[in-house]
Amino acid sequence: MLLVGVAACVAGGTHAADAADAADATGGSRRILVCGGRTAIVDITPDHPEGVVEWSWPDSTREGWVLPDGNVLLALSKGGSTPRGAAIEIKRGANGAADEIIWRYDGTQDEVNSIQKTPDGTYVLTEAGPNPRLLEIAADGSVKVEFPLACQKQNSHMQSRMARKQADGTYLVPHLLDFAIIRYDAAGKELTRIDTHVPGDAKVNSWPFTAISLADGGILAGLTNGNRVVEYGRDGKLRWEVTAADTADSINDACGIQRLSSGNTMIASYRIGKDGVRLMEVSPDKKIVWKWQANVPNVHHFQVLAVDGVAVPWPPLR
């Protein structure tokens, strides 16, 4: 079910600064929207390595965005008031005012696993369940695009993750148990497929979580239980990777990924890396240049908003 123009104020949004326990952060400051067991905008600095929470939302989330206008777009996990998952856009309250949900989609199957707002103002999401599908919905609730996803149906939770509409009108969707990143056209036709199996080792569970388009046509992917982040060229061939072995086991279930303008890659270690690493930033030569070791809930996905006080340009590569 879709709800637009919701005027209800939500008391759950929190703006008071709030700190969690932590062990360490290195290499300067990072301001980050974290999604997972906790949903919050956190400012992580050498003085506050645990992170100071400047805004939060009470629900567990699959992913989220801070949009250019300051609104927050979230894919809500299944459970509680969202038994089939949901997606919401929140107008954050100013000067003590309550947050307001201004757009909402309630899932109709098992889960809503991703959400994206396009430059045209439409919302792209994926639903998992008996009939896995991608939807592109206008702000007024009308469905602009709908097609079935070419993935297995035995395990709905493992059907899809961070789907993204591309500038050329195609859609990139990572399918976990299918070990595939598929590009679809607007009619749902499969155009290309990248096999994410680790070459020479089919036993590695290199299930894709992200499919991030790079400027040169490459694709950046977190391969979850494969404990690695990889980059494929235009031809779908592996051209770069960083693994748990490269990071002293700091990578443990590589879920959310973001490529920064520096060329560094931020990685969420969902199952928590060695010594409590939740997030780490890795250089192209595979050196950890920043990490977040905090006693906080797991990070499923995230958006880096600023590095050392400098805002990350829109759109973020995540």
pLDDT in tens, 83-102: 999 999 999 998 889 999 99
The Cα-based distances of 108 to 1, 78, 128, 196 in angstroms read 7, 11, 9, 29
In a domain, 180, yes or no: yes
Burial of 67 (0-12, 13-18, 19+ CB in 10 A): middle
pLDDT of 201 reads: 84
Q: Is residue 199 part of a domain?
A: yes
Query: Which pLDDT score is estimated for 96?
Result: 83
Which residues, other chains included, contact 182 with Cβ-Cβ below 8 Å and sequence gap of 6+?
A: 149, 150, 172, 173, 175, 190, 192, 193, 194
Q: How many domains does the chain have?
A: 1
- Say if residues 64 and 72 touch (Cβ distance below 8 Å): yes
Residue 317 domain flag? no
Let me know if residue 157 belongs to a domain.
Answer: yes
Pairing of strands 265-273, 254-259: antiparallel
Asked whether 39 and 72 are in contact (CB, 8 A), the reply is no
Tell me how crowded residue 225 is: count the other CB atoms within 10 A of its CB. Answer: 17
* pLDDT at position 199: 85
- Whether residue 318 lies inside any domain: the answer is no
Residue ranges of the chain with per-residue pLDDT less than 50? 1-25
DSSP 3-state of 274:
helix
Specify the pLDDT at position 103. 98
Domain range for 178: 2-311
113: in domain? yes
Q: Amino acid identity, residue 251?
A: I
Instruction: Examine residue 24 and state whether it is found in any structural domain, yes or no.
Output: yes
CA distances from 285 to 227, 241, 242, 248, 263 (A): 17, 10, 9, 14, 10
Q: What is the identity of the amino acid at 229?
A: V
Tens of pLDDT along 224-242? 999 999 999 999 999 999 9
* Domain at 230, CATH number: 2.130.10.10
* Residue 114: inside a domain: yes
> What are the tens digits of pLDDT across the range 44-85?
999 999 999 999 999 999 999 999 999 999 999 999 999 999
Confidence (pLDDT) at 26: 54
